[in-house]
Amino acid sequence: MASTPSQPLRMILIGPPGAGKGTQAPNLVEKFDAAHLATGDMLRSQIAKGTALGVAAKEIMDNGGLVSDDIMVGMIKDELTNNPACKNGFILDGFPRTIPQAEKLDQMLKEQGTPLQAAIELKVDDDLLVARITGRLIHQASGRSYHKLFNPPKVPMTDDVTGEPLVQRSDDNEESLKKRLTAYHDQTEPIVDFYKKTGIWSGVDASQQPATVWEDILKALN
């Protein structure tokens, strides 16, 4: 499956924390000129714009709750309808996380006439993820990610592009990661079987060097 002007890229990236979604998504955006729809970015955007969905989501989050599946699917629908960057397709990152979410997303996309073409799973063992995550550095404004050992910035703790400082997320520690991995295995891994049944799933060994992972993603998409 190659993305063309008449057939924009429509895919999701699946993978545990530290699998490399934040590294590979910008490559996909550049290659296919598609929009990167990350869950956190969409929430922040809708809240900042004061949309009905954003107001509802903020109220739930302020009360310590989880934003409903319907609100998240509504946000994605809004992005696909109103975000010019989506004209050449989209890469969904961080959603769906559960089978009910996957079912709601599929229903909405089919109603829009834009069904998913690919679900790429980045596969990595938990032990390697712990090593990756505890050394991860983030440029907050862009979401670019680095690693103290595996992918260090040219200047320590400094973004290569802007020269702005990098940060380490407060939840990028071993104890927090193990909780997040447990949640991923329990809640999100089952959607792999869901997409295998639809015939759009491909698995990529994400323990390799980022450039090799990228080559394997392109092979899966073609």
Summarize pLDDT for 49-103 with one digit per residue, the tens.
899 999 999 999 888 888 899 999 999 999 888 889 898 999 999 899 889 999 9
Annotated active-site residue in 77, 169, 178, 196: 169
Annotation marks residue 169 as catalytic: yes
> Has residue 153 been placed in a domain?
no
Annotation marks residue 144 as catalytic: no
> Has residue 29 been placed in a domain?
yes
> Has residue 47 been placed in a domain?
yes
Q: Is 39 annotated as a binding residue?
A: yes
**Residue 116: what residue type?**
L
Annotated active-site residue in 10, 104, 132, 136: 136
Confidence class for position 108, pLDDT limits 50, 70, 90: very high
pTM for the complete prediction? 0.78
> Has residue 46 been placed in a domain?
yes
> Has residue 141 been placed in a domain?
no
Beta-bridge mates of residue 7: 4
CA 205 to chain centroid, in Å, comes to 17
> Has residue 116 been placed in a domain?
yes
> Has residue 87 been placed in a domain?
yes
* CA atoms lying within 13 Å on the CB side of residue 28: 33
Annotated active-site residue in 77, 123, 180, 196: 180
Annotated active-site residue in 31, 58, 97, 148: 97
Q: How many domains does the chain have?
A: 1
Annotation marks residue 10 as catalytic: no
> Has residue 134 been placed in a domain?
no
pLDDT tens digits for range 177-220: 888 889 889 988 899 999 999 999 999 999 999 999 999 999 99
pLDDT of the residue at 3: 45
Annotation marks residue 180 as catalytic: yes
Instruction: Identify the CATH number of the domain in which residue 61 sits.
Output: 3.40.50.300
What's the domain range around 31?
A: 10-123+174-221
